[in-house]
Structure 1
Amino acid sequence: MKPILSSKKLRSVSYDIRGPVQEKAYHMEEEGHRIMKLNIGNPAPFNLLAPDEILQDVVHNLSQAQGYIESKGLYSARKAVMQECQRQGIMDVQVNDIYLGNGVSELIVMAMQALLNVGDEILLPAPDYPLWTAATVLGGGTPVHYVCDELAGWQPDLADIRSKITPNTRGIVVINPNNPTGAVYSREVLEEITALAEEHDLIVFSDEIYDKILYEDAVHVPMASLSDDVLTLTFNGLSKAYRLAGFRSGWMYLSGPN
C-alpha cells in the first residue's frame, strides 16, 4: 500500500511557534520544568481575564444559543460591529457587510480561499504572522514579503512594497498594530499603502486584532477610514482586547467598493 501523504500545499506551510517550539515546551513540562509560554497571545494563563459583564451576558443568553443562526452571524452582534465602525468614522459599513467567524483565523483562511486564484500574489509584512502566509498558500496564492525595517521602528518600507507589485499582485496584508513586532503604523504610512492599493487595484487585508492595545500615546488608524475607493477587508475580534481567546469570536467587515 502506498503511503498516504499530506497535500503538496502544506510543504510551504509552517508555524514553528505552535509546532516544534510548543512541542519542546510540552516535553520540558513533562520533565517538571515550569514554562512561561510567550509564543501566542493567550491572555488567560497570565490572569488577564474577561470582563465580568461579558461572562454574565453569555450565561444569561445561553438558553437562546441552541439553534442555527444566519450564515453571516448573529444579527445583533453584527449590528454592534457596525456601530463600532461608525464610532471610528467608517460610515459606509452596513450590517450585511459584516461576517462573524470562529475567531479571526477562520475568517482569514476563508477570505483567502474566496478571493485568490492560483498564482495570485499577496504582499505580506516581514516579519510576518505565519497564519497569513499559510492562508495565502492554502488559497492557491503566492506570498511575497515586504520589508518592515527595524531601524525605522518596524514601519513598512514603502519603496520595497512598490518594487514588489507585479501584474499578478492581488492584494496587500497590513497588520496594525503589528504582530510580532508591536509597531503601530503612522497615518502617513497607511495613507501611502492605501494610495498604492488604489493605483494598482489591490485588495487590502487589514488585521487589526490589537487595535485597542496601545502604549506610549500610540494612535491606531483604521485602514477602512482612509478611503472609500479601495476594497478593504478588516479583521478583528474579542481574543486580545477583551481577553476572550477561548470564545473564538471574530469578525470581518468589507468597506469600499464590494
Structure 2
Amino acid sequence: MRALYLDCFAGISGNMFVGALLDLGVPEEQLRKELAKLPIGGYDLVIKKVTKLGIQATYFNVKLGWFPRKYRYLPDILELINHAPLDEQIKVKSKHVFCRLAEAEAKVHGIAVDKVHFHEIGAVDTIVDIVGTVFGLRFLGIEQIFASKLYTGKGFVKCSHGVMPIPAPATAELLRGIPYEPGEIEREMVTPTGAALVATLCTNTQGMPTDFVSEKNGYGAGTWDVKIPNTLRAVLGVTNVQVRIEQRKNTAGLS
C-alpha cells in the first residue's frame, strides 16, 4: 500500500506540506493548473528551492495582494470548493479538512460552526494550502498517511483575536488525541492548517509503522530561520504487505 510518513521534527504547516509533496515529485505545472481551477484570485505562488541549515528543501508559499477587509464564512468556502471543476475526491477531502478546522475554531470561540469566519487573506492562503495538499497526495497515489509526534513550539503568537499561547487554542483543539510537545523553539511551529491536515488525513499519529519501507524523502521548507532545520520531512514508501506482494509477483515472473 502506498504510504506517506510525516516526520514533524520542526512542526507542520500547510505550505510546508505542499512543499514536501512538490519535493517528492508533484509537478509544479500540474499543481498550478489544479489550483487555477479555484474561483479565487489576487495571489501568486512562490515555489523555489532553498537550504535550511544544510538541507535542501522546496519552499511553497502564497504571495497575497491587496484584499478588501471582508470575511469568508465556512458555507462560503464549501460552496467555492463545490463549484470548482476539481476531482470529486479532492473536493470531499478538502471540505473535510476545512470543516475540521472550523469545528475547532467554533468550539474555542463558543460560536456556531457556520458563523466561523476567515479573513479574506487568511481564507485564500488556507484554501490554496488545503486543496494543494489534497491534490498532491492524490497525484502521488497516497493511500495512508502516518505522522510522528508534533513539535508545536512555545511562547505566544499574535493573531486577529489578540496574543495567544502556543499552540494557539484552535490548534490545541485539533491536536486532541495526537501526541505533541512544545520543543525548544519559541515560534509557532504547528499552524492551525497544519494541525487540521494531520487531524483529518492521517491514518495514525503514533510514529512510523514497523512495516513501513521508505522509497524517497522530500523536504518542505518553513518560513522561519531557527536553530534547527525548519523543514517537514515527508517519506514516501510502502508497507511490507505491498512489498511482499511485489516480491511474489517478481518471483512468479509477473509484471
TM-score (norm 2): 0.28
- Relative to its length, the structure with more strand (as a share) is 2
Indicate the structure (1 or 2) with the bigger Cα radius of gyration.
1
More RCO (CA 8 Å, sep 6+): 2
TM-score (norm 1): 0.28
